[in-house]
Amino acid sequence: MNHHRKPQGGNLSNLKEFVILGFSDVPYLQWFLFGLLIVMYSFILLGNGTIVLITRLDSALQSPMYFFLGNFSFLEICYVSITLPRMVFNLGTQRRTISFIACAAQMCCTLILGAAECFLLAVMAYDRYVVICKPLHYPLVMNQRVCSQLVIGSWISGIPAQIGQTSQIFSLSFCGANQINHFFCDLPPVLHLACGDIFVNEMMVFLGALIFGVVPFLLIVFSYSKIISTVLKLSSATSQAKAFSTCSSHLAVVMLFFGSGMVTYFRSNTNHYGGTDKVLSLFYAVVTPMFNPIIYSLRNKDVKIALRKFFYRQFAKI
């Protein structure tokens, strides 16, 4: 990371608002993007909301795997609701300003929920590891109490650190333009506007990415290395295919979320934050929540059956 010292001239430490540039570089697509984002947000709410419902109501989905999936889908709804409505509002009104406090709150919430998503994906990988590698111990290891503790731990894991990191970023002085070259108040583009020597802040961002990104990802890699090793020892090709099919949906979501998120946070620095970073951020902020219900409904037989039963009951009431 480059910790270039920005000039102190034009100090805006008493900054009252930022301007989120968003899609301003494509003015001819504003209304198309407005409609597209509304459709995407509606799909995210409907798709993930349906998964939350069926994992709660369907008796066939009352296992730890689906308990975690329901929580993950609810987390996706919360995560995307912090950013997408504001993006739609900005496009519809062409008012791109956001207050200093609102920007800090948006950043803090996205960081907390992003950390929760990383750890919950690691918990889901651990669940698959136990069920495949230690099936006889599964009911004992993944009991209701342990599952609840793992979910609660994932939700609250990033709260102290991310509140501290957000407070640290917004206690800096800002100089020059107050325009955020992004779709929402994400950490790298806001830090890009800060004055002075921000080496410590950059190191904190790097450390946060290691703890809340790399560590969960390594836990996932470790879990799947054990899973692959165990599955390859199975004598039946049918058993191998069944074991791998239970993991494929989760792996697809992991690749989408971690791939885009870690590249964005590890390549960001104060001298460069551009179009590539903005596109990558859309993957972990919008695309992953949108594809989560599609991936799980298409790749999981139990979810497909539960969805058919759910929609059949709904249409039968009409």
Three-state secondary structure string covering 222-235: HHHHHHHHHHHCCC
pLDDT of res. 279: 78
Q: Report the candidate in 22, 18, 23 with the shortest Cα–Cα distance to residue 193.
A: 18
Looking only at Cα atoms, what is the longest distance across the chain? 70
CA separation (Å) from 284 to 72, 153, 290, 292?
Answer: 14, 21, 10, 11
pLDDT (mean) for 120-142: 93
How far apart (Å, rounded) are the C-alpha atoms in residues 225 and 230?
A: 9
How many other C-beta atoms are found inside a 10 Å radius of the C-beta of residue 316? 7
Give the start-to-end residue ranges of the domains of the chain: 17-171+181-317
pLDDT grade, residue 176 (50/70/90)?
low
Give the pLDDT confidence of 256-265 residue by residue, as tens digits: 888 878 777 7
Tokens of 286: 């919008």
pLDDT of res. 268: 54
Give the pLDDT confidence of 273-314 residue by residue, as tens digits: 556 777 778 888 898 899 888 888 777 788 888 888 888 887
pLDDT (mean) for 149-160: 95
Q: Which helix (H) or strand (E) holds 307?
A: helix 301-317
Q: What is the DSSP letter of 286?
A: I
Positive/negative CA dihedral, 263, 176, 180, 111 = positive
Give the pLDDT confidence of 29-77 residue by residue, as tens digits: 889 999 999 999 999 999 999 999 999 988 889 999 999 999 999 999 9
How many CA atoms lie less than 13 Å away from 181 in the CB half-sphere?
18
Q: Which helix (H) or strand (E) holds 179?
A: strand 179-180
Q: Report the candidate in 124, 117, 149 with the shortest Cα–Cα distance to residue 224.
A: 124
What is 17-171+181-317's CATH number?
A: 1.20.1070.10
pLDDT of res. 315: 77
CA torsion, ordered 183, 274, 254, 33, to nearest 10 deg: 40
